[in-house]
Every structure is written in C-alpha cells, then in structure tokens.
Amino acid sequence: MLVSLIREGLGRIIAAMSVLTQGKAMVRTEEQQADVNAACKNLSLYQFQSCPFCVKVRRRMHQLNSPIELRDAKNNPQFRSELAEKGGRIKVPCLRIEENGDVQWMYESNDIIAYLEQRFG
C-alpha cells in the first residue's frame, strides 16, 4: 500500500513537471496540420495519467503536435476492458492504430515514439 502511494505521488510529480517543461509544439501549415489531425483520428493511446512511460509518450505527442485521443485505462473500466480483451494485456502505454479496417496494438514507449516520429516528425 505504501509503495503504491509513493509510486502514485512520484508519478503525479513527474506528470506535472513534464507539462511545465514540455516545450513548444511543432508548427505546420494549416493544411499539413489538418492532415495530421485526420490521421490522428485513427489512433488512441491507452495510458495511466501518472505512469512515467506514458508521460514520455504524451510529451512527444505534444511536441509533434499530434492530437491523439487519450484513453485512461486505470480509471475507465471500458478502456481497461478494451485494452485487456483486444490488446491482449493491461499494459501501458499502448497505442491503438487503425488502418484500412485493421487494428494493431503497439506497446512500449520507445516503439510508440519511433512510430509517431516516423509518421508525424
């Protein structure tokens, strides 16, 4: 119990510091940003608010100016269930990628960031 409280507290501090120091979002032309926004509609990030690896991914999403839907898999039973049943396990961060009717579930923060940089960087 104590370890959980400490982990949650540290996670919240990390999340707050990340917001304060995340830097500026990438600037694109209106047309380019509209294309990115449209592409992001097929993506969603299953995450926990205070998870350091999720913070890392959200920070990069901000920098890449990629408005991907955030799904709180800790506090929302529906998202938690989707992650377990369709993604195969409850592990965050997890990026749900839907393309041409196919759905891919990508785990691991570094893999997610590499994908986002390749697609939107």
Cβ(87)–Cβ(71) under 8 Å?
A: no
pLDDT score for 20: 66
Residue 93 has pLDDT above 70, yes or no: yes
Q: What is the pLDDT of residues 20-43, one digit of tens each?
A: 677 788 889 999 999 999 999 999
What is the number of structural domains in the chain? 1
H runs (alpha helix) in the chain: 2-21, 30-40, 52-63, 77-82, 109-120
> Is the N-terminal amide bond of 93 cis, ω within 30° of 0?
yes
Rounded-to-integer distance, Cα 14 and Cα 75, Å: 19
CATH number of the CATH domain containing 53: 3.40.30.10
Domain assignment of residue 111, given as a range: 2-120
Q: For residue 94, report the phi and psi dihedrals to the nearest 5 degrees.
A: -140, 125
15: closest CA among 45, 51, 46?
51
Q: Model's pTM, two decimal places?
A: 0.86
Rounded-to-integer distance, Cα 76 and Cα 71, Å: 8
Mean pLDDT on 76-101:
96
- Enumerate the β-bridge partners of residue 72: 47
Mean pLDDT, the chain, rounded, equals 91
Cβ(95)–Cβ(40) under 8 Å?
A: no
Rounded-to-integer distance, Cα 61 and Cα 59, Å: 5
